[in-house]
């Protein structure tokens, strides 16, 4: 099932590759929940989904709790009179100013489907600032939201830094990390997913946390661009590299394939992954239907 949110770096298109590397376990922990593509397309008994984007976690909690009622509320924003530049910026301002957390959650869905490329971007003050996307008729993801709501009954959603969420891992858990990617060039840097950046120091810290958990027998799988930097900081991991089609670029001519890496940190002597907790004989993308 595809995520109901449009998302930069959405892992749905490579979910089979990820599932091949994910070991089985009692719980999957995701310190960078994002759109939840891996959560939606694996079959672990339980999930701990974390992110430092408070707006995202707020949305997931309301959807988890209120289900169909909340989905119907979100749908009220998907009307023709809200699909124009002036109204978009009015609602974006309302999203940034409101203290009503339920309204903020519903507006997050509206903004995601009406903004440029579904890009989740904030300024230095923590205000959502992605421009209007100018779509003829934005899609309302009712079916996808219902699926997420049902699956979310197995999950806990927390707004935490990756260090905090990884510190909660216990033997028997599996951790999958999809951090903001290392830029492929000096002009491709994108660290505005939250109001805080995610630079080289954070990338190194993440690799160190993965090594620490692996030493305790807790496997950690990381996604990133395949660069000299990631090859260096992931030196102790089992690495798989492949090409992936870019989904977001300001220049359509540059939407070619980029080399990505999956780095599995595991204890010395641990066996190979066994299909990521999916039912035997099924691919990860078909594990939940």
188: pLDDT strictly greater than 90: no
Q: What is the CATH number of the domain that holds 41?
A: 3.40.50.150
157 shares a domain with 121: no
* Same domain? 167 vs 28: yes
* 8-state DSSP, 117: G
What is residue 248's predicted lDDT score, i.e. its pLDDT?
46
**The whole model's pTM is what?**
0.87
pLDDT above 50 for 250: no
Print the domain residue range for 184. 12-53+151-286
Candidate from 1-5, 130-134, 193-197, 260-264 with smallest mean pLDDT: 193-197
Q: How many domains does the chain have?
A: 2
Residues 80, 167, single domain; the answer is: no
**Mean pLDDT taken over the chain:** 89
197 confidence band (pLDDT: 50, 70, 90)? confident
Does residue 246 carry a pLDDT above 80?
no
The more confident residue out of 98 and 258 is 98
pLDDT reported for residue 104:
98
One domain, residues 73 and 200: no
Q: What digits encode the pLDDT tens for the residues 198-238?
A: 899 999 999 999 999 999 999 999 999 999 999 999 999 99
Q: Is the same domain home to 233 and 211?
A: yes
Judgement on whether residues 92 and 30 belong to the same structural domain of the protein: no
CA distances from 25 to 42, 164, 218, 227 (A): 11, 20, 9, 30
Output phi, psi for 2, to 5 deg. -75, 150
30-47 pLDDT, tens digit per residue, is 999 999 999 999 999 999
Distance between CA atoms of 174 and 33, rounded to whole angstroms?
14
The C-alpha torsion from 245 through 250 and 253 to 259, rounded to 10°, is -30
Question: Do both 44 and 175 map to the same domain?
Answer: yes
């Amino acid at each position: 099932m595809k995520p109901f949110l449009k998302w930069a770096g959405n892992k749905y298109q490579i979910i089979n590759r990820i599932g091949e590397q994910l070991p089985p376990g009692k719980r999957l922990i995701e310190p960078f929940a994002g759109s939840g593509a891996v959560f939606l397309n694996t079959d672990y008994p339980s999930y701990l989904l974390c992110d430092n984007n408070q707006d995202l976690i707020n949305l997931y909690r309301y959807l988890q709790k209120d289900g169909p009622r909340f989905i119907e509320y979100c749908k009220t924003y998907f009307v023709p009179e809200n699909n124009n530049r002036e109204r978009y910026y009015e609602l974006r301002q309302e999203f940034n100013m409101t203290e009503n957390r339920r309204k903020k959650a519903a507006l997050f869905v509206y903004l995601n489907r009406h903004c440029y490329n579904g890009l989740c971007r904030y300024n230095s003050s923590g205000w959502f600032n992605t421009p209007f996307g100018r779509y003829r008729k934005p899609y309302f993801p009712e079916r996808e939201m219902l699926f997420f709501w049902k699956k979310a009954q197995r999950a806990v959603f927390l707004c935490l830094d990756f260090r905090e969420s990884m510190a909660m891992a216990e033997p028997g858990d599996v951790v999958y990390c999809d951090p903001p990617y290392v830029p492929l060039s000096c002009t491709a840097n994108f660290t505005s997913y939250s109001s805080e950046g995610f630079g080289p120091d954070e990338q190194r810290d993440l690799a160190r946390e993965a090594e620490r958990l692996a030493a305790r027998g807790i496997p950690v799988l990381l996604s990133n661009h395949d660069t000299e930097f990631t090859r260096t900081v992931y030196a102790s991991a089992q690495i798989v590299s492949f090409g992936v089609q870019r989904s977001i670029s300001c220049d359509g001519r540059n939407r070619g394939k980029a080399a990505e890496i999956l780095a599995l940190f595991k204890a010395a002597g641990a066996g190979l992954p066994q299909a990521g907790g999916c039912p035997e004989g099924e691919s990860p993308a078909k594990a939940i239907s």
